[in-house]
Amino acid sequence: MKMELLVEKSSKISGVVKAPPSKSYTHRAVIIASLADGKSVLKDPLNSEDTLASLEASQAFGSKIENLGEQWVVEGTSGQLETPHDVLDVKNSGTTLRIMTSVAGLAPNYSVFTGDSSLKTRPMQHLLDALKPLGVEAVSSRGDGKPPIIVKGGFKGGKTSIPGTVSSQFISSLIIAGALAEEPVELEVTGEFISQPYVNMTRDVMEKFGVKVDYDVDSKVFQVNPQTYRATDYTIEGDYSSASYLVGAVAVLGGELTIKNLFKGSKQGDKFILDIISQMGADIMVKSDEVTVKSEGNLQGIDIDLHNAPDLLPTVSVLGALAEGTTEISGVEHARFKETDRISTCSQELAKLGVNVKEKTDGMTIVGGINSGTVQSHGDHRLVMAFSLAGLKVGVKIQNAGVYDVSFPNFPEVMNNLGCKMMFK
């Protein structure tokens, strides 16, 4: 959607707001429920373009799903999947593509996945290679390790390995489908293991549906024995990734904001945003199911390693530009393989606003100081919402901004209700 979002300078904000449902948990819950034995009710799911791609893909493999808005009723396949009748277009959802590629190995015959132009740049070869020893033939149709992807069913199980440096989604994919393989699956993670919290989230959802995954920290080996997913009623928790923009807004403008449905015991890696904001100068109060942020609007630059929370890169880069001093972001080279090369795109757009920014292999160096101007989203939902924070301080126009609804469908309405000034032109 090629809409332009105008974000005007705003004053202090305050109020109480409910965090949007977690995109990551919604993806995992609907896919796992679709593999389960019986009927599950998913309460408070996120209805967004990305998560609906997982819902529709699950339907294509034989699950019957009723979308009632505030809940999804999922009739599982008991692991007896059908081969989809057509090519599956998962649009911009890398999570859907990666998890469903392994799931497709449980179906008979051939399944084909494609998506939009951004999705077709996402690396898949490590996952394709890891599936082969498990009995699944999966190939890139163009032979470049990227979508479209063709998968031939035959998930037997066995031993395999995968590098841990590109995407934790590969690991989540293999263990979710591995529980329904004929034989046990032993998965070794080689090299650095990035974004581990996302795999912890996957194991958490699997356990709620009755499947246990063992992990040996020393050898970095996952062990998944053949099991059955059991249907359950499951409530989706709030999303710390989406809440980072709410937290960021009060941090840069000043004020006090309480965000409900954020759980203290959450396994989400992006809960790290609370530590980041605290280090930059805001006050954080955490209760069991809500977070309150207080700020005077004066932030300080920090040195921060985002290797376990790569989706926070756009938010933190903009916060760094709005802070006093220098912000050093590191450990996040894998952010180059997201919807866009986020290190590059964030650097480009910050520079358009007069920010002194230096791109590094695994991050960025940002010297505080920013001007009003016009930026481009590059079709990336997280860039739209992150750069809106700059607009609240100095005024910004964001081109091709409609993509925010990939993960936070009512973002402008929520922000406006809190006192922020933003509108589409």
What is the distance between the alpha carbons of residues 5 and 148, in angstroms, rounded to a whole number?
Answer: 32
- Catalytic residue, chosen from 311, 341, 362, 380, is 311
Of the chain, the end-to-end C-alpha distance in Å amounts to 12
Rounded to the nearest 5 degrees, what angle is found at the Cα of 325, between the Cα atoms of 324 and 331? 115
8 Cβ contact list (under 8 Å, min separation 6): 391, 395, 421, 422
Q: Which residue has the tokens 């933003």?
A: 422
What whole-number distance in Å separates Cα of residue 39 and Cα of residue 20? 25
**Which residues partner with 285 through β-bridges?**
292
Is 311 a catalytic site residue? yes
Any idea which residues carry the catalytic annotation? 311
